[in-house]
Amino acid sequence: MHPDRFFTVEIDTNFHIRGWLNAGHDRLIKMGKLFRVHSLVLRIRKNYYDHQNVKKDNMDYFIQQLINGITLGGIYALIALGYTMVYGVIQLINFAHGEFFAAGGYVGVIFLSFFTGLGYMETYPVVCLTASFGLAMAYCAYLAIGVEKIAYKPLRKESRLAALLSALGMSIFLSNGLMLTQGVYDKAYPSELFQGGMHFGMVTVSYLQVLILVLTGVLLVALNFLVFKTKMGMAMRATAQDKTMSALVAISSNRIISLTFAIGAGLAAAAGIMVGLYYGSVRYDMGFIPGIKAFSAAVLGGIGNITGAMVGGLIIGMVEVFGAGYISGEYKDVFAFIILISVLYFKPTGIMGENIDDTRV
Amino acid sequence: MIQEFKKVWKNYTIGMLWLLGVLWPLLGIHPDGTITFQKTVSVWLYILAGTFVCLILYVINTSGNLKPVTTPVAGAARKIGSMIEVMPSWIWISALLICAFIYPLVTGRYATDVAITVLFYICLGLGLNVVVGLAGMLDLGYIAFYGVGAYTYALLNVNFGLGFWVCLPVSGFLACIAGCIVGYPTLRMRGDYLAIVTLGFGEIIRIILNNWMELTNGPNGILGVKTIGILMPFFENGMTLETLWVKKLQWFYYFVLGLAIVAIIAVRRLNYSRVGRAWESIREDETAAELMGVNTFNYKLLAYAMGAIFAGLAGAFFAARMKFVSPESFTFLESAMVLCMVVLGGMGSIPGIILGVVALIALPEAFREFESYRMLVFGATMIIMMLFRPAGLIPAKRVGKRSEDKE
């Protein structure tokens, strides 16, 4: 596993000094986190230093990074699809989308550990895993439909600033709601799942990576089928192009918008469980940074374009992994932002986007 | 009233049932394989009771049954408003100033500390108001400029021993430069793209502060920043100038109060100047403003730079106050908090922003035991304000008349 973790190591390296300097309650949270995740942190750091020792001009290293990059890119692509679909239909950056992703991770770990507690995990692991994925995706779809009805629907006719601020408020609200119900500590995924992997010389592909790649592929194909081959997908595309016209041919735009939110949040939830499995734990604020990166992916691919979001997600994942592997691990978050800014500056339509009118850019 | 209630009860019931469904998996499913309902239902009942009271108040208000209460209150408010307008403005301004001046003398250390925080956020809120409220650009990375100001003073002071008053303009200047650097590539964009790019820039600045160990000492922060020093003449043996360090919190309060007053005056004068009108025209309709000969790019860049200067100056004071800076003080949540204050009080309105800051800093201090619900309330405040009162608690007065108002 590559060290490009979403959190944790930073806490470990600096805790003795920083821990005491931060103000009261913050400090307690940090200390608690430290002790809970210490073993995980050590594991990740060990992997990190193992990786540091690998020669970087080695071909095996390159291939390993490529595989890591595709895995991460697939996860980003799943999140980015939600952004791009929602933007395509109602032209809103759904800031709360990253929180759907985090909620998916949490509900996934809740169901997985529930099944472990019942003892079904040893006997029917495949069924349990499928059920956890399905339930988490359904939960997030349900959550997203409600969120849209409460915070976005009444503002559809208002200015874009109002909707954007409401989305931002919803993002803060949801992530703190998760914190209050689930605690401020990292929540660990059952780690006995998916031990081991396949070895090809120096290159290792863990079974978990295989699972993530296969599942991402299945979800992406299913989504493509839904959007481009079914009547429902046709209605979605029609609403994205022109709400009034599609309403005239008896497509309920409210229902389509709900559906879009539900599908996007379901995909984000799947990504949330994958990240939880891949990195071993979830945290209430884990949706923020991956959310922006996935948004960068959506912009890179051309916002509103579904194929573009998939390609963009893969590119962002690759850039991040290669940037962390060859340039600097500390600045890995910066690469995605730089891509975002330069795409918006030089080609705001993205690599696959159509022309967009001047209200967007 | 029954009529009004009939309109909303269905949506309300569906919403509450939805909430029950959202809460139950998070609270009722346990890792040991058990399922409980008790905690979920009790939490839900609390929320139900709270929201039901709000709903009843809302229904009574919309059906007009609250008029016996609201009419006298509104009348009294109008009366007070007209009294204030009749009174020469210097009277109540000086009354407010006197209150602000004697505040630290009559209260304790803790209250003064809270007041200093309020004043810091007033400066930040006013600076963000220039960008968001006047020029209408959503900036989500605003706190980065605060960080630039704070780090400028901390680094210059610790490494070169420069005094506060030398560093203060440097802090403002560097923050202004940072604002221009961020602003220049982003200002081609509009609306929501701009928001996300500023967010990205804010995070980049924070990550650089966090990782550039040689310069900023990384996440450990910089310790031992000196507080404000003033040169005071002493007349014991001849006249000597000696530096007096502002160690007492009360004296520090007066310096920050001075900064806040300068910020209020500056933003007010900017608002009513030619520049302010140009910003307002950009906010209302950028294309029309450009057609009328407003150089939109320059004015937008100017808005960024002005906002950044206020943040940079406040940042230098912040570093002097805390005697310590670390990247953790400049996270995205801080930006969101400042934005929430501006939104709550009313974008573009100076009294509104002051009210918003006081509401969101002082009230959480009063309800200290609900500390962990603070950000939850911030998020909910933003949504509720956007849904019910998008102009804020004290909406900004619009300059001049508009065609749509005449109809």
What is the Cα B327 distance to its own chain's centre?
Answer: 19
| B382 with A168: Cβ contact below 8 A | yes
A27 interaction partners in chain B (CB closer than 8 Å): none
State which residue of chain B sits closest to A120, comparing Cα positions: B33
Among candidates B188, B333, B380 on the partner chain, residue whose Cβ is nearest the Cβ of A345: B188
* Chain A contacts in chain B segment 358-387 (CB below 8 A): 371-373, 375-376, 378-383, 386-387
Confidence (pLDDT) at B195: 84
Amino acid, single-letter form, for residue A345: Y
- Does pLDDT of A203 surpass 90? no
Name the class of domain A57-346: mainly alpha
Residue in chain A nearest B286 by alpha carbon: A359
State the best of A337, A339, A342, A345 to mutate against chain B, taking most chain B CBs within 10 Å. Answer: A337
Lowest mean pLDDT among A118-127, A343-352, B114-123: A343-352
Hey, are the CB atoms on A169 and B221 less than 8 Å from each other? Answer: no
Query: Residue A26 has what pLDDT?
Result: 45
CA-based nearest residue to A74, from A227, A275, A254 = A275
User: What residues in A contact B211, CB-CB < 8 Å?
Assistant: 330-331
Query: Minimal Cα distance from A19: which residue of B?
Result: B220
For residue range A231-269, what is the model confidence (pLDDT) as tens digits?
A: 999 999 899 888 888 999 999 989 999 999 999 999 999
The mean pLDDT value for B132-137 works out to 88
B203 shares contact with chain A (CB less than 8 Å)? yes
Distance between CA A217 and CA A131 in Å, rounded?
A: 19
- Write the pLDDT tens digit of every residue in B302-323: 999 999 999 999 999 999 998 8
Beta carbons within 8 Å of B277's beta carbon, 6+ residues apart: B399
The identity of residue A213, as a single letter, is L
Mean of all residue pLDDT scores within chain B: 87
In this complex, which of B34, B195, B324 lies closest to A21 when CB atoms are compared?
Answer: B324
> For residue B41, what pLDDT band results from cuts at 50, 70 and 90?
very high
Task: Flag whether pLDDT at A172 surpasses 80.
Answer: yes
How many whole angstroms separate alpha carbon A109 and alpha carbon A185?
Answer: 14
Our CA angle for A143, A147, A153, nearest 5°, is 145
Name residue A204's beta-bridge partners.
Answer: A199
Mean pLDDT of chain A: 81
Cα end-to-end span (Å), chain B? 31
| Cβ distance of B372 and A359 shorter than 8 Å | no
Q: What is the mean pLDDT of residues B231-255?
A: 77
Q: Is the pLDDT of residue A58 over 50?
A: yes
Residue A297: other Cβ atoms inside 10 A: 32
Give the distance from residue B193's alpha carbon to the nearest chain A alpha carbon, in angstroms.
7
Interface ipTM: 0.88
Of A22, A166, A289, the CB nearest to B386: A166
Mutate to test the interface with A, among B117, B182, B371, B382 (most CBs of A within 10 A): B382
Taking the CA atoms of A203, A207, A208 and A214 in sequence, report the sign of the dihedral they define.
positive
Enclosing H/E stretch for A357: none
> Is some CB atom of chain A closer than 8 A to the CB atom of B329?
no
Q: Do residues A322 and A67 lie in contact, with contact meaning Cβ atoms separated by under 8 Å? A: no
Could you tell me the pLDDT band of residue A56, with boundaries at 50, 70 and 90?
A: low
Query: pTM here?
Result: 0.85
To test the contact with chain B by mutation, choose from A10, A165, A284, A349 the residue with the greatest count of B C-beta atoms within 10 A, namely: A165
Give the percent of chain B with pLDDT over 90.
34
State which residue of chain A sits closest to B332, comparing Cα positions: A288
- How high is the pLDDT of residue A31? 47
Contact B386 A292 (CB under 8 A): no
Half-sphere exposure of residue B11: CA atoms within 13 angstroms, side-chain side: 11
- Cα A187 from chain centroid (whole Å): 17
Residues B323 and B153: their CA atoms lie apart, in Å, by: 10
Could you tell me if B280 and B134 are in contact, meaning their C-beta atoms sit under 8 angstroms apart? Answer: yes
Phi, psi of A142 (to 5 degrees): -60, -45
Using CA atoms, how far apart are residues A169 and B344, in angstroms rounded to an integer? 12
Q: Report the chain A residue with the minimal C-alpha distance to residue B195.
A: A164
> If you count residue pairs, one on A and one on B, with CB atoms under 8 Å apart, how many are there?
184
Q: What is Dmax (Cα atoms) for chain B?
A: 85
Mind listing the pLDDT tens digit for each residue in B336-381? 899 989 988 888 889 899 999 998 888 888 888 788 888 888 899 8
What string of H, E and C letters represents the secondary structure of A76-121? Answer: HHHHHHHHHHHHHHHCCCCCCHHHHHHHHHHHHHHHHHHHHHHCHH
Domains located in chain B, CATH noted = 2-76 (no CATH), 108-398 (1.10.3470)
**pLDDT tens track for A75-100:** 999 999 999 999 888 888 898 999 99
A-contacting residues of B 137-166, CB under 8 Å? 138, 140
Can you spell out the DSSP letters for B59-121? HHHHTTTTHHHHHHHHHHHHHHHHHHHHS-HHHHHHHHHHHHHHHHHHS-HHHHHHHHHHHHH
Give the Cα-Cα-Cα angle A30, A35, A40 (nearest 5 degrees): 105
Residue A230 to residues A257, A261, A305, B195, Cα–Cα distance (Å): 17, 18, 17, 35
Nearest to B185 among A119, A341, A358 (CB): A341
Q: Of A39, A41, A44, which is closest to residue A12 (Cα–Cα)?
A: A41
B122: closest CA of chain A, how far (Å): 20
Q: Are the beta carbons of B228 and B259 closer than 8 angstroms?
A: no
- Judged against a pLDDT cut of 80, whether residue B56 lies above it is answered with yes
The β-bridge relationship of strands B240-245 and A281-282 is unpaired
Confidence of residue B162 (pLDDT cuts 50, 70, 90): confident
Mean pLDDT comparison of A92-96, B392-396, B403-407, highest-scoring range: A92-96
What's residue A256's pLDDT? Answer: 93
For residue B342, give the chain A residue with the closest CA: A165
**What pLDDT band is residue A17 in, cutting at 50, 70 and 90?**
very low
Least confident of A49-53, A94-98, A229-233, B267-271: A49-53
Å between A210 CA and nearest CA of chain B: 27
Distance CA A211, CA A224 (A): 20
Q: Where are the domains of chain A?
A: 1-53, 57-346
Report residue A351's pLDDT band, with 50, 70 and 90 as the boundaries: confident
How far is A200 from chain B, CA to nearest CA, in Å?
35
Asked if B192's CB is within 8 angstroms of A154's CB, the reply is no
Most confident of A36-40, A47-51, B138-142: B138-142
What's the pLDDT at A29? Answer: 46
In angstroms, the separation between the Cα of residue B78 and the nearest Cα of chain A is 28
B326 phi and psi angles, rounded to 5 deg: -145, 155
**B79 contact A CB<8A:** no
Q: What residues pair up with B243 in beta bridges, in sequence order?
A: B231
* CA torsion through residues A199, A205, A206, A210, sign: negative
Find, among A272, A107, A279, the residue nearest to A208 by Cα: A279
A115: its two tokens? 């099944």
Contact criterion met (CB < 8 Å) for A111 and B191: no
